[in-house]
Amino acid sequence: MSCIWSDMRTAEANPHHGPVATAPQRRGRRIAMTPEECNAFLSTERTCRVGTVGANGLPHVSPLWFVWDGRAMWLYSLSRSRRRADLRASPAVSVVVDAGIDYDELRGVELGGTVEVVGEEPRTGEPVAELEEPERLMAAKYHGGGGLPHDGRHVWLRLVPDRAVSWDFRKISSLRP
């Protein structure tokens, strides 16, 4: 995955949110994360912010735990939530993962695209080969490596991003004369 704003698919229109962005990230190109930095960052950070748009056209942003498998972001969302209702109406999503306190520490990644449900909804633990890796990653990251509890209230959503932008303000100091 490139972490410089670009389309990662063709420039044809997406039926859920129009044409895909085709212009590369310009201003922040020098502070963009490398693909390796993006993968490491997304593999270790714990909380993302998921942006959706409801059927009424109003935006909604909510925090959520996630895992990154190097190709896709996996969101374990409540089935009965405003986020899930929005995504039923339109699976278009924008997700931000960021970190840092002071200005010169800020870094993050924004991913965009459409999500798809993987497995049963709600998730009850039926064997699903595609979910073995995300569930292993989720259990290791948030549950101390034990099994992932299936409470019949969550659903797996997979985002294979078609656009991404990243920034790492820690790189700014190396750009100054």
Q: Where are the domains of the chain?
A: 6-171
Could you tell me the CA-to-CA distances from 87 to 70, 116, 169 in Å, in that order? 23, 9, 32
pLDDT for 7 equals 44
pLDDT for 18 equals 47
pLDDT for 145 equals 82
In order along its 177 residues, the chain shows pLDDT tens digits of 556 544 444 444 445 444 444 455 555 788 999 999 999 999 999 999 999 999 899 999 999 999 999 999 999 999 999 999 999 999 999 999 999 999 999 999 999 999 999 999 999 999 999 999 999 999 999 998 888 889 999 999 999 999 999 999 999 877 766
Judge contact between 148 and 112, C-beta under 8 A: no
6-171 to CATH, choices 1.20.1070.10, 2.30.110.10, 2.40.128.640, 3.40.50.1000: 2.30.110.10
pLDDT for 27 equals 53
